[in-house]
A and B are shown apart, each in its own frame.
Chain A
Amino acid sequence: MYRGLTYGRCCVEDRIRRIYVPMTETGFYILLCLQKESHGYGIGQRISDMTGGALIIGPGTMYGTLSKMEKDGLIQFSREEDKRKFYLITDLGREILTLEKQRIRRLYKLVEEDEAQ
């Protein structure tokens, strides 16, 4: 029973890893922002500030991505205020974000080495 449960959980997490690593640019920024609790529009504003207005995420894309990430257990609903839903990253979300950061670091290192040649 216990082994079965552990196996089941591993399978789910492997599937999530396959889906989210590598991550879309939209997904990466949203997950990065949700290390601090925020709501959809707030996340959009922060991403716009972080990228100097270069990346704008529309409300349809934002809502769809948040819903999917919540369903997949990467983020969790924390509270509601004035009909705005607030979310926060979960442990699984942090794990995925770490994997994605490692992937980007590897890429960055390769780019730097290539530039140096």
Chain B
Amino acid sequence: MSKDKKAVLRFFTITDYEQEEQWLKEMYRGGWKPHSFVPPCFYTFERCEPADMVFRLEFNDTEITSQSDYLRMLDDYGWSYLFSCMSWRYYCKPADTKKEANELFTDNVSKLEMLNRVVRRRLLPFAVIFFCCVLPNVYRGFSDSGTVIGWNLAWTAILLIYSIIMIHCLLGLKRLRIKYSTKR
């Protein structure tokens, strides 16, 4: 990779989007602008002039090409669309002194609506895979004496990783729900 580009590994779960926004802000302050993201943890950055930029992630499963009016509105507000990945859109804009001017969503109702979309489209399918695929396979591995030990270990490792991510997501969800429910 050239001197003006670099790849960075960093993992964020689906309820860590505010931390990811903060990290991207710090990267830009250090002179690195995000260029792309490949799940689960591969970011590429381009060299840029360090500046105080704010980043916002939006979970939006509507095709972006059908929302040219929304992109126009974002542009009017000063936001630049960077890229999207698996329904997550990345936007940035120069930081404003007014806190609300740095937000896509300025009331708790719309913040909660986006969070609920994340739960429906990401967290629920993730939980279904956990209960319908991972757990039965681990159970079958241990109850059936004929299963190869390697498979058992692999499924147990998957169960462990899955459980850690799941607990992390659920705690994150609870934290965000409390935060967005606070009356301002």
A residues lining the B interface (CB < 8 Å): 24-26, 39-41, 44, 53, 56-65, 80, 82-85
Contacts and interface: CB of A to CB of B under 8 A. Distances in A.
Interface size class of B (residues with CB under 8 A): 20 to 34
Contact of A83 (B58, B72, B106, B114): B72
Given A25-B107, A41-B73, 7 more contacts: A59-B70, A59-B104, A60-B110, A63-B73, A64-B113, A83-B71, A84-B73
B101 interface: yes
Contacts of B105: 58, 60-61, 64
Contact of A61 (B70, B74, B98, B107): B107
B106 A61 contact: yes
Contacts of B144: none
B151 interface: no
17 contacts: A25-B107, A39-B73, A40-B76, A41-B76, A58-B106, A59-B73, A59-B79, A60-B103, A60-B110, A61-B109, A61-B110, A63-B70, A64-B105, A65-B110, A83-B69, A83-B72, A84-B76
Contacts of B101: 56
Interface of B: 58, 68-74, 76-77, 79, 98, 100-101, 103-107, 109-110, 113-114
A24 B77 contact: no
A41 B103 CA distance: 14
A46 to B, nearest CB: 13
A60 B114 contact: yes
A12 B48 CA distance: 53
A62 B103 contact: no
Given A40-B76, A56-B101, A59-B77, A85 B69 contact: yes
B1 to A, nearest CB: 34
Contacts of B76: 40-41, 59, 84
A60 B104 contact: yes
